[in-house]
Each structure stands twice: as structure tokens, then as C-alpha cells.
Amino acid sequence: IDEGSPERNIERVDAALRHCEPADLIVLPELWSTGYAHERWRELATSSAVRVRETMAAWSAACGAAVAGSVVEVDPDGSLRDRMLFAAGGAMATYDKAHLIPAMREPEFFTAGSTLTHVEVGESKWGLAICFDLRFPAMFRTYAQADRAGVIISSEWPSARADHLRTLCRARAIENQMFVIMCNCVGRGADGTDFGGGSLVVAPDGAILLEMDDAEGVSVVDIDPGAAARLRGTFPVLSLENAAIDGARAGRD
């Protein structure tokens, strides 16, 4: 990511997608159009929001795929949002990051979201999340209880905590029997923060189907979204948990 340069970042993604194999879903990192250009976020969101939205919609149409990635946008009330855009079929769904990380100064600039977003990729249903959300398991459980096949995560996670990123992606997949598709940023921010990549696709049983390194690039992996429902049927962790909770409530009453 070139911090503070939406046009250069658009050019970089555009060049990468020209050589990409056909896919149903394309995932970009968190704040892919601006990076952590904190002091310029409002200016860049105001000047580039329409261009970024139109570009993601154009990529979706050209590739015949859903395109997801987090950007900075300003709401009509003036609040600044870390917003995941999901362009598919000529429509645009959005999710505002619910958990803002103090270590990256996000609460100083952004207003947190409070609503989960459900989207469709083909015939399968998915949830959306952004980076630091990964540390909050209740959010992912809510998606699992709504029978989502998985969660799509746009991330800008520092390499200093790369082990946490990998561990949490697998944990969220295993405990919820769902896919986790996570695209993480690569490179060094203007403040010196290193972002180590390590983008992952994790299966509902915890198997790693794709793991990228710390170099910028594009990878494609085939998945079967129905695997989540089948695993929940043969190894019903979620339903057993609900039964235990109901039993505990009955005993307390």
C-alpha cells in the first residue's frame, strides 16, 4: 500500500487483477486505498470516496466476481468510518469496523460500527469483518449461528503480532466450523509499522488451504462453501453448545 495515494493504489490493484485467474471473490487488505495516513484520512475520504467505490464496482463487473476491501469513508453526519465495501452484481454492501484498535490510534479518528453485515457469494452466505475484529469471538459466533459459510476479513495487521493473526484465524474457523478468508497488508507504514502479509484461507476444520508470504501478490484457491454445513451436521459443536446453555438456564431457573 502506498500510504495517502489512492490513485497509485488503484493502479497497483488494477495491474494485479489483469493477471488474476477467474474467481468468485476477490479480497483486498484493510484501508487498501490509503493505508494508515491518519492525518489525511478525512481529506482523502472526501476526495476519493466516489472514485474508490466506482473502481471496486468496475473490478467486480470486469472480473465477474465479488470484490471486498476496507476503505475510509465519511458519513453524512461527519463521522469517519473504516468501512468494508463489498461490490457484487451491481450492488454495494458495507460493514463498518466494530472494534477499533487503540495501538493504531483508530479511536482518535473513526467511529465504530454496531451492525453486522451478511453477504452472498454465489449461493453461499458470508459475514464481513475487519482486522482487529478477529480478537472478538462473539462476533464470529453470531455469524456461525446464522449459518454463514464463513467470514471474509480485510486486514492491516502488524508483523509484530503475526503469530496472533495466524492463530486467531484458525481458532475462529475451528470453533465456529466456518471458513475464514483473510487478506492482510504487506509493507511498511509511514510511522515505521511493518505489515507482514501472511494472508490465509482456513477451512472449517482448521486446515490451512492457502497461506501467502510477506511479498505482495495474488493467489487463488478453490473452496467448497458447503463444507461448513456438512461439518456442522456430522460434528455438531454449535448445537451442543446451545443445548448446554439452555440446560444451565433451566437449572438456574
The separation between the first and the last C-alpha atoms of the chain, rounded to the nearest angstrom, is 55
d(CA 180, CA 202): 5
Beta bridge partners of 141: none
37 burial level (CB within 10 Å; 0-12, 13-18, 19+) = buried
Residues 65, 192: contact at Cβ < 8 Å? Answer: no
d(CA 198, CA 33): 19
d(CA 250, CA 132): 35
CA 38 from centroid of its chain's CA atoms: 20
The catalytic residues are: 30, 97, 131
